[in-house]
Amino acid sequence: MNDATDWRPAADLETLRWRAQRIAGIRAFFAERGVWEVETPMLSRAAATDPALHSLRSEVAVPAPHHRYWHTSPEFPMKRLLAAGSGPIYQICRVFRDGELGRLHSPEFTLLEWYRPGFDEHALMDEVAGLLGAVLGRTVRDERITYRDAFLRHAGLDPMTADPAHCRRCCLDRGICPDPGATGDRDFWLDLLMSHVVGPALGRGEPCFVFDYPPSQAALARIRPGPPAVAARFELYLNGVELANGFHELTDPAEQAGRFRAELARRRQLGLALPPVDERLLAAMQAGLPDCSGVAVGVDRLLMVVAGVARLERVLPFAFDRS
Amino acid sequence: MASYSTSEFKAGLKIMLDGAPCAIVENEFVKPGKGQAFNRVKVRNLRTGRVVERTFKSGDTVEAADVLELELQYLYADGEFWHFMDPGSFEQYAASKEAVGEAAQWLKEQDMCQVTLWDGAPLTVSAPSFVTLRITETDPGVRGDTSSGGSKPATLETGAVVRVPLFIEEGERIKVDTRTGEYVGRGKE
């Protein structure tokens, strides 16, 4: 891996200067709208319980308990600020997710996350489109499509009713060959199809928002009862790359506690680490998290797509392999 | 039995897939923002050379293929097997017709070849990229006609037939690119 030139950035300096200007532009975008910048701890006592997220852990000398978890997103402390009455806030920070490394993944990356009290997810999608316009330097004509319609259009199946056998056949028809050991429940197959088939087809030229997710994929979004019930969650795609994930946030502390328990049970089943639940988030929600929507944008990916390059390392001073 | 986790996947890694030894050509980590991670790989079947795609659940393990690449010296063929020797250990290996395949027509005794072993037995044999071989049979050259770019078939000592320029004669040694089967030039004596 080591060669005589790997002390140098893989990205050219012109791109890195352009990156700095785009990030200054993002800060100006929020300053203009009265959304203020906050900084929350990167090292946390608690960690995300989402079974698909793997937190890095460090030892600290003082005080006990000695473990701190590197945040996978600043979501929980930002919600504590919202509950404390902060009003609209944003943060640009490095976050850490173990086990994720590839063309579009790095164990550490830059996240832009913001929260808007009083917004539902559609109002927040409008603002995300506005931010994209500011970064791209043009007006965007975004497309909006429900999760169900995106699957009907690009995979030819109904994600709310398809069974695993049907999903598997859909993969094979499209030249995707899941290993016999790669199998699971409906959400497993929907994740496979979303990442291999549906997602790559979305947002060609103009951004595309996917919304109304299956309730089983709500994460931290509230569930709208329906029928049919849907999770008030959205994702943003541009040129087939997923750039953002947003929620009309769940505010019910009892339901939040229930989701934490369910995720921990799932982690136990999978033999994953069982990190401490963020009790301070639950206390803040008990005190009252205002009705709000929030979104997290992968800044490195966004700049990668806008710059028209294929790998994260082309827009980073030093990618993970040169750290 | 040795195995690899998907986190160890990289180009060149040898794994067993559907009972056949394969080499990973390309590995892509794919993951939706919230949800299951996958490794989408392209693998080359080392026996057939065919490249296929396969998607694994990240964190799963696959059996390692006991594959070794060695530089071996070609000794002789006995009609059924082609025999090779490791010049370091003097260990000998017998390669089947299937393993030798296309390389057979370029193999000359004493030449060094790249041989891929699977579970200790030759799986594939690659001839050296360039070989120098003697012409055993070709029509007499047409003197003076060296500029027209004309060519004629020539049979080599290994049995291979290549096209050579008209001025090349029987008994001469020529250099051939085994990857294309094309004449490169006159061989050095």
Distance CA A45, CA A277 (A): 9
Check: CB of residue B154 under 8 Å from CB of residue B137. Answer: yes
Which residues in chain A have Cβ-Cβ distances shorter than 8 Å to B30?
A: 102, 195-196
Tens digit of pLDDT for each residue in B66-96?
Answer: 999 999 999 999 989 999 999 999 999 999 9
Mean pLDDT rounded to a whole number for chain B: 91
Q: Is the pLDDT of residue A247 over 90?
A: yes
For B34, nearest residue in chain A (alpha carbons):
A52
Is the pLDDT assigned to residue A1 strictly greater than 60?
Answer: no
Domains in chain A with CATH codes: 13-141+239-322 (3.30.930.10)
Give per-residue burial for B72-97: e unless 16+ CB within 10 Å, then b: bbbbebeeebbbbeeeeeeeebebee
B110-137 residue pLDDT tens:
999 999 999 999 999 999 999 999 999 9
B147 pLDDT higher than 60? no
Residue B149 scores a pLDDT above 70: no
Q: A99 vs B37: CB contact, 8 Å cut-off?
A: yes
Contact B52 A177 (CB under 8 A): yes
* Domain B67-126, classified CATH 2.40.50.140, yes or no: yes
Domains B67-126 and B130-186 share a fold: yes
Does residue A127 contact residue A119 with C-beta atoms inside 8 Å? yes
Average pLDDT over residues A121-128: 98
Cβ(A318)–Cβ(A146) below 8 Å: no
Question: Quick check: A36 contacting B, CB < 8 Å?
Answer: no
pLDDT tens across A162-194, in order?
999 999 999 999 989 999 888 888 999 999 999
ipTM of the complex: 0.90
Q: How far apart are the C-alpha atoms of B86 and B112, rounded to whole Å?
A: 10
Residue A269 has pLDDT above 70, yes or no: yes
Quick: pLDDT tens for A215-242: 999 999 999 998 889 999 999 999 999 9
Mean predicted lDDT score pLDDT of chain A: 95
Over residues A10-16, the mean pLDDT reads 93
| CATH H superfamily, domain B130-186 | Nucleic acid-binding proteins (2.40.50.140)
SS3 A31: helix
Query: CA A25, A31, A35, A39 torsion: positive or negative?
Result: positive
Nearest to B88 by CA among B69, B73, B66: B73
State residue B150's pLDDT score.
Answer: 81
Angle at the Cα of A230 from the Cα atoms of A229 and A231, rounded to 5 degrees? 135
Question: Which tokens go with A167?
Answer: 């999903």
- pLDDT above 60: residue B146: no
Decide the pairing of beta strands A89-96 and A36-37.
Answer: parallel
pLDDT at B144 over 80: no
| Whole-angstrom distance, CA of residue B189 vs CA of residue B187 | 6
Domain ranges of chain B: 3-63, 67-126, 130-186
pLDDT of amino acid B47: 87
The CA distances from residue A71 to A68, A89, A109, in Å, are 9, 18, 11
Q: State the DSSP code for A276.
A: P
In whole angstroms, give the CA distance from residue B9 to residue B27: 7
pTM of the model: 0.86
Interchain CB distance below 8 Å, A191 and B40: no
Q: What is the CATH number of domain B3-63?
A: 2.30.30.30
Min Cα–Cα distance to chain B from A182, Å = 5
Residue A154's contacts (CB-CB under 8 Å, 6 or more residues apart) are A197, A198, A201, A202
